[in-house]
Amino acid sequence: MKKLWGGRFTASADDFADSFGASIHFDYRFAPYDIQGSIAHAEMLGATGIIAQDEATTIVEGLKTLLQRLTRNELEFNPKDEDIHMNIERHLTDLIGPVAGKLHTARSRNDQVALDFHLFIRDNLLEVVRSSLTLQHTLIEKAQANLDVVMPGYTHLQRAQPVLFAHHLLAYAQMCQRDIDRLRDLWKRVNVLPLGAGALAGTTFPIDRKLVAKLLHFDALYTNSMDAVSDRDFALEFLNASATIMMHLSRLCEEIVLWSSGEFGFIELHDSLSTGSSIMPQKKNPDFAELIRGKTGRVYGSLMGLYTVMKGLPLTYNKDMQEDKEGVFDTLDTVLGSLRLTADMIRTLTVKPGTMRKSAAGGYTNATDAADYLAKRGLPFREAHEVVGKLVRHCIVHNKDLNQLSLEEFTAISPLFEDDIYQAIELETVVNRRTTQGGTARSAVTEQLQVLHALQNETQRWLQERAR
């Protein structure tokens, strides 16, 4: 098959090298974006008189026909044509004849692929925001449904202080918010038009880049042609934001694994999102939580892979940059799938309030409040800390919880203790006294919910403004 760029060459490409260098087996995902960008480019060529208006119309109609065929899965791509750009041009040539060759006027594959990449990430960035918003909404709903459930909070995976289960879930809802904020900020650098940069130096044709930007809904133009074709910061930022999303999901999934174990017993996963054992009939495994935790590594790998590809490249385009796409494609699929499954797990899991409360009541999680009790009666907190430490040691020796001690046992260690110590260290009291902004008291958690609802509404408006 004759190459569309083959005029300078006297020998045909080696078959293995041809296959090794082809990218159509993965960059076919750019097809709708390549056609979309080509339609805008052709309309601009006609509007500026660079090609005749009737030629531009013929090209645009041909491209729209190809887009319809693509939608019906009727376009076949040939590895001999290397990449999606040459495949689309070949199909267009077969459809409308030699006039298709005028489409590539004032354009290079270098700025063309950069455009496709921007369009692809821009479109799918919105999908990741939507999926993150869905997970956030699911966490908020589960928190609202369990607003009075008390559980132990942990440091070093040791029981530390009692918190509301809702408070714990909303910590992940806040992580979702930061993920959304990062993606929204990235929009500014994704929604920049590279087309018009040519191979690297611009073009001699009187193109109208602002018209193309308007047609394709870009907010800005690259102002340096060399930067336009060689920049992949936007892809790295997308991978970085995705890696952070996966880190957050991995942390949540680790807790799901722990909470669903017999040792914790805080939750039970729905049967549809669990698996069994081929040999042990009793098993109910949190496989999907574990799998998301594991898939985090492949997203990290894609991020480091692209950083490594880009680290030593001179300006401008180099064939190394063909390696910029597969990791992004895989990351997108991984992140969207992981967000969906995590939301499904949270929505369908069963909470076990009794087990959570029993665990929160053990482990001396109210010890800090006993120390606060003494500090409020004038004892320096460091001394109060030591006194309560002695109380805990006494409890360990006698196999008691703090609220099981007699008043005589309290006063034997500090005369500042009075009858009201029992109310002060009651679990619900401990939780609901933490009314500071961001605290775990029911009132503070209700405030968090209100803030998150407002943020969700604002994100929905942002998405609607960018719907094409």
Arithmetic mean of pLDDT, 230-249: 98
- Per residue in 161-170, pLDDT tens? 999 999 999 9
Positions of CATH 1.20.200.10 in the chain: 110-200+218-358+458-465
Question: Would you place residue 63 in the very low, low, confident or very high pLDDT band (cuts 50, 70, 90)?
Answer: very high
Is residue 187 pLDDT above 80, yes or no? yes
What pLDDT was estimated at residue 9? Answer: 59
Structure tokens at 233: 């910061």
Positions of CATH 1.10.40.30 in the chain: 362-446
Question: Would you place residue 431 in the very low, low, confident or very high pLDDT band (cuts 50, 70, 90)?
Answer: very high
Residues 339 and 135: their CA atoms lie apart, in Å, by 7
What pLDDT was estimated at residue 409? Answer: 95
**With helix as H, strand as E and coil as C, how does the chain read?**
CCCCCHHHCCCCCCHHHHHHHCCHHHHHHHHHHHHHHHHHHHHHHHHCCCCCHHHHHHHHHHHHHHHHHHHCCCCCCCHHHCCHHHHHHHHHHHHHCHHHHHHHCCCCHHHHHHHHHHHHHHHHHHHHHHHHHHHHHHHHHHHHHCCCCEEEEEECCEEEEEEEHHHHHHHHHHHHHHHHHHHHHHHHHHCEECCCCCCCCCCCCCCCHHHHHHHCCCCEECCCHHHHHHCCHHHHHHHHHHHHHHHHHHHHHHHHHHHCCCCCCCEECCHHHCECCCCCCCCCECHHHHHHHHHHHHHHHHHHHHHHHHCCCCCCCCHHHHHHCHHHHHHHHHHHHHHHHHHHHHHHCEECHHHHHHHHHCCCCCHHHHHHHHHCCCCCHHHHHHHHHHHHHHHHHHCCCHHHCCHHHHHHHCCCCCCCHHHHCCHHHHHHCCCCCCCCCHHHHHHHHHHHHHHHHHHHHHHHHCCC
Class of the CATH-defined domain 22-105: mainly alpha
What pLDDT was estimated at residue 74? Answer: 96
What pLDDT was estimated at residue 1? Answer: 54
Is residue 5 pLDDT above 60, yes or no? no
- Per residue in 91-140, pLDDT tens? 999 999 999 999 999 999 999 999 999 999 999 999 999 999 999 999 99
What architecture (CATH level 2) is domain 110-200+218-358+458-465? Up-down Bundle (1.20)
- Per residue in 66-75, pLDDT tens? 999 999 999 9
What pLDDT was estimated at residue 15? Answer: 73
What pLDDT was estimated at residue 22? Answer: 81
- pLDDT-above-70 percentage for the chain: 97
- Per residue in 271-330, pLDDT tens? 999 999 899 999 999 999 999 999 999 999 999 999 999 999 999 999 999 999 999 999
Positions of CATH 1.10.275.10 in the chain: 22-105
What pLDDT was estimated at residue 4? Answer: 57
Catalytic positions: 156, 277
Task: Name the least confident of 23-27, 416-420, 434-438.
Answer: 23-27
362-446 CATH pick, 1.10.40.30, 1.10.10.10, 1.10.3720.10, 1.10.230.10: 1.10.40.30
Q: Helices 326-348 and 109-145 meet at what angle, rounded to 10?
A: 10
Is residue 410 pLDDT above 70, yes or no? yes
Arithmetic mean of pLDDT, 80-87: 91
Arithmetic mean of pLDDT, 11-28: 78
